[in-house]
Amino acid sequence: MKMKKLLFLIPLFALIFYGCENVSEPIDIESGVIPAFVIIQTADQDVVAGGNLDVVFQLGQTQEENVTVEYSISGDAVQGEDYVLTSGTAGTVVIEFDPETTSLDTGSITFDFPVTAALGTSRNLTLTIESAVTESGESLTIGRGDIGHTRTYTINGLGEVPTGTYEYEATGDFAFAGTFDIVQPDEPISVDGDPYLFATTNIAGGLFGFDVPYAFNVTAGGSVIGAPFSHEPGLETIILDVTGSYDEAEEVLIFDVIFRCCGVEGLGYQIVATPL
């Protein structure tokens, strides 16, 4: 009886051992157990007017040959107004095989977002992979499950400020009052390489004995971002920290000004202005 039980248990142990051994074997990706795929590797994100974005397309496994990816663009962002493709080809990305690297093969395109993009609002730029084909004609899987097949980038535009003449009062370490104009040139004002949409014709009252124009932007949330120094030729040494806010409902524009020059570093004033 004991011998019969032993003979019965031997094949059972063998089955258990063989089954466990097979489970522990690695998955062979090259044999096609996991299909080759391509994704848009750059995640969904917010971008800002005046900035840029590199969008990377990535293979899940090397194909040892080039792969052509066709993609489409949708959303309410307007080409040429809200975005410009500055690197790559519209609708097509070629992921080139690089035998010298152990990293996953990638291809990329670059978008620039003009400073006037989505002005006063936000708009979406959506990329969707339509197909991915190797040089030998094999079609690859698009996305990895729900990941990477499509991506959306939200362009957050700058805010707007009404142009025209404003009446203001300044208080703080210096006190003065008067009027200035808010202007928006046809082309953005470049200061230290950054673009600014608006400018006040004089941010310093009579403190210098002459007008000091100053460029600034307003975010969609109403925050003022001033240039690092005056954009007027010859006045670049007038360096100010300019922040503040714009309340659209109340039509109140505020500049908080701190001197970083001129022997009065650290002193400042606040300008509260309303349109006439």
Instruction: Please report, rounded to a whole number, the percentage of residues in the chain having pLDDT higher than 70.
Output: 87
Instruction: Please report, rounded to a whole number, the percentage of residues in the chain having pLDDT higher than 90.
Output: 76
Would you give the end-to-end CA distance of the chain in angstroms? 110
The CA distance from 78 to 123, in Å, is 9
Q: Which two tokens stand for residue 46?
A: 């917010």
Provide the pairing of β-strand 84-87 with 67-74: unpaired
- Segment among 65-79, 98-112, 196-210, 252-266 with least mean pLDDT: 98-112
The CA distance from 156 to 51, in Å, is 10
Q: Provide the pLDDT confidence category of residue 62 given band limits of 50, 70 and 90.
A: confident
Domains, the chain, with CATH or none: 32-156 (2.60.40.2030), 164-275 (2.40.128)
Per DSSP, the three-state class of 121 is coil
| pTM attached to this predicted model | 0.69
Nearest alpha-carbon partner for 121 in 253, 252, 221, 224: 221
- Averaged pLDDT for residues 156-181: 96
Nearest alpha-carbon partner for 159 in 247, 227, 218, 114: 218
Q: Provide the pLDDT confidence category of residue 35 given band limits of 50, 70 and 90.
A: low
How many C-beta atoms lie closer than 10 Å to residue 255's C-beta?
25
Query: How many residues are recorded in the chain?
Result: 276
Nearest alpha-carbon partner for 225 in 107, 86, 48: 48
Q: Compute φ and ψ for 43, nearest 5 degrees.
A: -70, 160
Distance of CA 100 to the CA centre of its chain: 31
